[in-house]
Amino acid sequence: MSQKTLQNYVPALTGVRALAAYLVFISHYEYAFDESFPQGVKRFLQEFHFGVTIFFVLSGFLIAYRYYDNFYLTKDWFKQYFKNRVARIYPMYFFLTIGAFIYYYFSGDPQVTAGFKQPFVLLLMNITFLRGFFQDLKFTGIAQGWSLTVEECFYFSAPFIFLVAKKYNKFYIQPLVLTGLGALLVLIFSHFNWYGFFGSFTFMMVYTFLGRCFEFFVGIQLALIIHKKGIGRTNNLWYTYIGIVMVFICPFIMSRLSIPQGWTAGLHNPWGIVTNNYLLAISIAIFFYGLLTESTILKKILSNKFVELLGKSSYIFYLIHLGYMYKYLHEGVNWLNDKVFVWYDKWGVEWHSPFEYDWLNLIYIFIILNGISILLFKTIEEPLNHYIRKSDFLIKAKKAD
């Protein structure tokens, strides 16, 4: 393959977003298959949270590819950079988080606040991403939104990471320094009862940027390789398939590990952390390298227009697949199931209901959640993204010639 440069937009990487979100969905609802799968399979599915690692490696790659050779330590550059990041991440998160606390106001669902006595303060901590630094509050609001605190920390740090890497040639030592800083914070604050602020090493390594920075650095390194070598290849190795096999070996390893007391997955085992944060991150980068440099059936599938649309709306899917939106849909399916049996009684028949099987109901809800995600993407997220980028928010928009 001849030396080529990579285009700024790669449809297959957008399709990967959908794959990552669906893996997380499976990890949260594997219990729906209690009667269908043996325990070992269910433990394997439980470790599909690694979709989050896919998001982190992908973010590291995309931010580095777009900005590593195009960043300037100027006020205007930072304003434009953060304007773009806000436009991409914040609007839907803000609206859906407000929705979670409105839901709490009417339902009193304790999962939204985790027992925190000041809901308004907690709302502010959620919309500012601060709750992600506290072990006791990490799953409040939109539970899965803890990962956005990690993402935002990376977005803020990325220009400085690039600066240190370029100016001081200290790229490889940076994740060691950041993880060491996280360990120091745990040693200091784990002795204080402050809602679990850096409350344990497991929390730091699994739920904070300081513990998970290596995943972003792996993505950055992949971007630097592509910048230097392009997508031309001189060997015939199928990195796409080698990478994807390695990727799925990692959750298998985690599924064989014991779950520490007080935690919920093999991920929380020390060896699970090593597998997820390091071995898995490298495996994902190999997989991405294959997608970028090879023409495979998997790349064609991930580049399909409909899969691409699912990838574009996957951020919303990720935010709504767990929490109040899912609960309303689940209650709706149960209501339909009751109604069906009322109708059967009136008709004097003993048929099966299409809503009596948990695994089938999960498929219904999965499809509906995707439909809602696409609708919200088309009507709210995408228009707001474009509006903010073209607005004078943070920095005056450039006029078109």
pLDDT in tens, the chain (401 residues): 345 667 777 899 999 999 999 999 999 999 888 777 888 999 999 999 999 999 999 999 999 999 998 888 889 999 999 999 999 999 999 999 999 999 999 999 999 999 999 999 999 999 999 999 999 999 999 999 999 999 999 999 999 999 999 888 878 899 999 999 999 999 999 999 899 999 999 999 999 999 999 999 999 999 999 999 888 887 889 999 999 999 999 999 999 999 999 999 999 999 999 999 999 999 999 999 999 999 999 999 999 999 999 999 999 999 999 999 999 999 999 999 999 999 999 999 999 999 999 999 999 999 999 999 999 999 999 999 999 999 999 898 876 44
Residue 4 confidence (pLDDT) = 63
Q: Is residue 247 part of a domain?
A: yes
pLDDT at residue 1, rounded to an integer: 35
Q: If we measure between CA atoms, which residue out of 91, 67, 28, 397 comes closest to residue 224? A: 67
Number of domains forming the structure of the chain: 1
Residue 226 resides in a domain: yes
Q: Is 262 left (phi over 0), alpha (psi -120 to 50) or beta?
A: left
* Residue 264 falls inside a structural domain: yes
Return the structure tokens found at 232: 């031309």
Amino acid found at 128: T
37 contacts: CB under 8 Å, gap ≥ 6? 30, 45
Identify the pLDDT of residue 29: 95
CB 65 within 8 A of CB 74: no
Query: In angstroms, how far is CA 185 from the centroid of its own chain?
Result: 24
Dihedral of CA atoms 246, 251, 252, 255 in degrees, nearest 10, equals 160
Decide if 384 is inside a domain.
Answer: yes
CB 273, CB 204: distance < 8 Å: no
- Transcribe 24-58 into DSSP letters: HHHHHHGGGGTTTS-HHHHHHHHGGGGHHHHHHHH
Residue 399 lies in a domain: no
Largest CA distance in the chain: 79
pLDDT at position 5, please? 61
If one counts every other C-beta atom within 10 angstroms of the C-beta of residue 126, the result is 26
- What's CA 371's distance to the chain center, in Å? 19
Q: SS3 for 139?
A: coil
pTM for this entry: 0.95
The residue segments making up the domain with residue 214 are 11-322+357-390
| Within-domain flag for 175 | yes
- HSE value, Cβ hemisphere, 13 Å, CA-based, for 204: 20
Two tokens at 308? 């691409």
Residue-level pLDDT at 190: 93
Residue of 298, 132, 287, 235 lying closest to 279 (CA atoms)? 287
Q: Are 133 and 197 in contact (CB under 8 A)?
A: yes
Q: Is the residue at 106 inside a domain? A: yes
DSSP string, 259-311: PPTT--SGGGSHHHHHIIIIIHHHHHHHHHHHHHH---HHHHHHHSHHHHHHH
- Calpha distance 33→36 (Å, rounded): 5
- Cα separation of 33 and 370, whole Å? 21
The answer as to whether 63 is a domain residue is yes
